[in-house]
Amino acid sequence: MKRFARSTVPEPAPTATWLLLLALTGVTYAIGELHVEGPVLIFGALGVALLKGRLIAWRYMELARVQPLWRLVVGAWLAAVGGLIATAFLLAGS
């Protein structure tokens, strides 16, 4: 069976990834507790959520070890969902 080339991006240890996810959850909580409103709240929380989604997919779903096409598909899916949410927010404000 052919092994696929690993990503050139260095992988953090699982514990480091978990700690980063925990810190990002804290950032999202802080954004809410600071009573931030409007685009800063939406795009800040959305950006953190997309970053967490990417970390989970690459590290825990092992996308760092598969064909680049799969990484592209999952990355495009995350970008599309984030873009649709951002578009809905911008259109709702009009």
Tell me the pLDDT of the chain (94 aa) as tens digits.
556 555 566 666 788 889 999 999 998 888 888 887 888 888 888 999 999 999 999 888 888 888 889 999 999 999 999 999 999 988 987 5
Q: State the pLDDT at residue 50.
A: 93
Looking at residue 94, its pLDDT comes to: 56
Q: What is the pLDDT of residue 4?
A: 56
Question: Would you list the DSSP string of the chain?
Answer: -PPPPPPSSPPPPHHHHHHHHHHHHHHHHHHHHTT--THHHHHHHHHHHHHHHHHIIIIIS-GGGS-HHHHHHHHHHHHHHHHHHHHHHHHHT-
